[in-house]
Amino acid sequence: MNGIARTLTILVLAGALLYTAFSLSFGAPAASDMDDYFIQHGQEQTGANNIVTAVVFDFRGFDTLGEATVLFTAVLGVGLLFRKFSAEEDE
């Protein structure tokens, strides 16, 4: 009885999630003005063939600055957690 209820729950949940996943529309964004702008003007404005890098390092440089700061903070945290071993290294 318990097993049947569990199987039914899993089946209903999987069905609902799969229906939601397949009813979503991928690959056809309603508003593609931004993408078209990057593709049309990215090469002439930044001089970079790789549009992804042009977006990451030029159009959205502040985002990358935040990412770099997050990485720096993560290393600070790890260094703080394991400071016993880094202190031994300094001695």
Residues within the interface to other proteins (CB under 8 A): 43-50, 52-54, 56-58, 61-62, 64-65, 67-69, 71-72, 74-75, 78-79, 81-82, 84-86, 89-90
- Residue 50 CA to its chain's centroid (Å): 19
The residue (of 28 and 84) whose beta carbon lies closer to other proteins is 84
| Best CA proximity match to 67, nearest among 50, 79, 55 | 55
The residue (of 32 and 69) whose beta carbon lies closer to other proteins is 69
Give alpha helix (H) positions in 2-32.
2-23
Could you tell me the two tokens for 91? 């001695």
The residue (of 17 and 71) whose beta carbon lies closer to other proteins is 71
